[in-house]
């Protein structure tokens, strides 16, 4: 995605309220993929972070699940390995799950399903790609950059619109799933408006749901993360 395309996407995503029922494709004068805003799909949407050639972290939120498991493998119908992690109860109704998948092969597609204990919620099967071996030179490392997210407004859902359309735009440009063409997502600061549990769970993690199960996301700290959390206690406990 070149600079002109990125700026056009960003301006259309931020201006979502005036688009109304018009699609992003029609606003661009183009066609093909449907850029109409659909909203983050329901269900458990895992969040990938800290990718290495041999490991990756998987995290998600639940209301009450007390167990953390991820079944994974190199084929969608053969999730033969299971990693068990931890769950931190941050407050009533706020359970944060996190587990590291280890022993992975570099530059390999893995399929996985995140789940709680018996009777708990389970995700659909998603796919991600591990990084190439350290020191590999391919001439390309593609990063999707989205920043200054911050606003939690159920009426506008501004950031959610931008994430969804970024994924659709990338897949439209390259003709492949986002995990095939983007190596990592970088979010430089102000992931939330204030650093409360509500904003992390229901703004950052939820609104990243179109991308986070497929491509790892790495964040940096902005000033808004310190509002109501000056010591960054929440931030440090969520991001590896």
Question: Which runs of consecutive H residues, i.e. helices, occur in 15-67?
Answer: 16-19, 24-28
Handedness of CA 43, 71, 116, 87 (dihedral sign): negative
Beta bridge partners of 153: none
Mean pLDDT for all residues in the chain: 87
Q: What is the pLDDT of residue 29?
A: 41
pLDDT tens profile 15-44 = 433 233 334 443 344 445 667 889 999 999
CATH 2.60.40.380 domain position(s) in the chain: 47-129
Q: Alpha helix (H) ranges present in the chain?
A: 3-14, 16-19, 24-28, 158-174, 178-181, 197-199, 206-207, 233-238
Please say whether the beta carbons of 218 and 184 come within 8 A: yes
- Grade residue 49 by pLDDT with cuts at 50, 70 and 90: very high
Does the domain at 47-129 match CATH 2.60.40.380? Answer given as yes
* 53-75 mean pLDDT: 97
Q: What is the rounded CA–CA span in Å between residue 61 and residue 94?
A: 7
Strands 184-188 and 143-145: parallel
| DSSP H or E stretch at residue 112 | strand 109-115
Tell me, yes or no, if the pTM score tops 0.75.
Answer: yes
Closest by Cα among 68, 100, 63, 114 to 87: 68
């Amino acid at each position: 995605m070149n600079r002109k395309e990125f700026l056009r996407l960003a301006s259309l995503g931020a201006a979502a309220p005036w688009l109304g029922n018009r699609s992003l494709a029609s606003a661009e004068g183009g066609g093909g993929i449907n850029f109409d805003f659909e909203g983050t799909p329901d269900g458990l949407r895992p969040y990938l972070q800290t990718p290495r050639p041999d490991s990756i972290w998987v995290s998600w939120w639940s209301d009450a699940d007390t167990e953390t498991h991820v079944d994974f493998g190199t084929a969608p119908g053969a999730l033969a390995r299971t990693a068990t992690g931890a769950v931190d109860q941050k407050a009533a109704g706020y359970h944060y799950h996190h587990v590291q998948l280890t022993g992975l092969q570099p530059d390999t597609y893995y399929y996985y399903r995140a789940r709680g204990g018996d009777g708990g919620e389970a995700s659909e099967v998603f796919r991600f790609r591990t990084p190439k071996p350290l020191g590999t030179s391919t001439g390309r490392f593609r990063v999707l950059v989205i920043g200054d997210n911050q606003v939690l407004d159920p009426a506008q859902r501004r950031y959610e619109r931008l994430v969804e359309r970024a994924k659709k735009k990338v897949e439209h440009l390259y003709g492949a799933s986002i995990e095939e063409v983007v190596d990592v997502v970088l979010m430089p600061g102000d992931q939330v408006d204030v650093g409360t549990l509500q904003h992390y769970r229901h703004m950052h993690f939820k609104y990243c749901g179109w991308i986070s199960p497929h491509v790892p996301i790495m964040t940096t700290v902005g000033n808004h993360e310190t509002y109501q959390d000056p010591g960054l206690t929440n931030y440090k406990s969520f991001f590896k």
